[in-house]
Amino acid sequence: MGNKGETAPAPPTRSRNWMTDIRHFFLHKPEIPTLVRFDSQEERENYSQRIMQRLQLDVNRFVILNIHQIGINLPVKYVFDELLKWDGDATCWPNHLARVNRIDGSLESIRLYPFGWQRYPFNRENGFLGLHYIPLFNLNARRIQKTPDPNEMDNARYLLYDCSGGYPIGIFSMYARSPIASQGEVETSQVFLVVGFNFYGREDWSKKRFVHGFWEGIHNRVTSNVMNRFKQLCEWRFQQIQDKGRF
């Protein structure tokens, strides 16, 4: 069960309803900060462009605005296989607030519904206050790389989606690779969650500090909690596998 004196991993606490989702994902302060911060806008743009090139995105068409990273000291293949299990039963995602629905059970097409609603309440058909929030996310796979590119050395695997719907994201990616020593990374796996905000296609909204800051603040807190819980889930499940192998 590990070295004497070590605390055994535990799974993330399962949410029971939308109130516990708010507590676990919005109000809880994550143990490990995950937002990648930059000293300058130029550094941020260079970093984003390197990621876009690895994802085979046109750097002239997309702007990556939020990048979160967490290290997990487990094999990259194992961690990525855990990412592939993302569904409506995942304990590391606020499923009561944003229910995950794989279309025909596939990762290629995913819908996320607010509170599980697939129709607007009160028989409304055209959204609310001009906003169309069902589905909250409409994810269509642009590319899923389940095995590393043999020409690359960082063991990278990723899921990349075009995203539309009520939440203002244009690009959504979950990415796992080996550490890069020159960047101070030490854990065996480095996991990234990358998004590009498009504010419902209204580019002028991105220039409004209040709107931009509000969405980034919400997104960053939830994403950081998601990634901390994902790390916790991976470590707990891997420990279960190791323990079973000892008997």
Question: Mean pLDDT across the chain, nearest whole number?
Answer: 85
Residues 150, 151, 155, 158, CA torsion sign: negative
What pLDDT, on the 0 to 100 scale, is given for residue 222? 95
Supply the DSSP symbol for 128: B
Q: Which pLDDT score, from 0 to 100, does residue 60 have?
A: 76
Mean pLDDT of 88-111: 93
**Has residue 237 got a pLDDT over 80?**
yes
The pLDDT, as a whole number, for residue 117 is: 87
174 closest CA partner among 101, 94, 43, 79: 79
5-24 pLDDT, tens per residue?
A: 556 688 999 999 999 999 99
What token pair was written down for 86? 């993302």
**Percent of the chain at pLDDT above 90?**
51
Report CA 39 to chain centroid distance, whole Å. Answer: 23
Query: Is there a contact between 171 and 163 (Cβ–Cβ < 8 Å)?
Result: yes
Token couple for 164 = 């539309």
Distance CA 57, CA 35 (A): 21
Name the pLDDT band for 217 (thresholds 50, 70, 90): confident
pLDDT tens-digit map of 123-161? 655 555 555 678 888 999 999 999 998 888 899 999 999
Q: Is a pLDDT exceeding 60 seen at residue 203? A: no
Whole-angstrom distance, CA of residue 69 vs CA of residue 204: 28
From first CA to last CA, the distance across the chain in angstroms is 11
Sheet of 98-102: strand order equals 66-72, 189-197, 169-177, 157-164, 137-145, 109-114, 98-102
The pLDDT value given to residue 201: 46
Q: How far apart are alpha carbons 2 and 236 in whole angstroms?
A: 12
Taking only Cα atoms into account, the Rg of the chain, rounded to an integer number of angstroms, comes to: 19
Which domains are seen in the chain, by residue range?
Answer: 31-245 (3.30.530.20)
User: Smallest Cα–Cα separation from 225: which of 7, 47, 16, 20?
Assistant: 20
Question: Residue 44's pLDDT is what?
Answer: 85
* pTM assigned to the model: 0.87
Query: Residue 1 pLDDT > 60, yes or no?
Result: no
Question: Which of 36-40, 197-201, 234-238 is the least confident region?
Answer: 197-201
- Count of other CB atoms within 10 angstroms of residue 240: 12
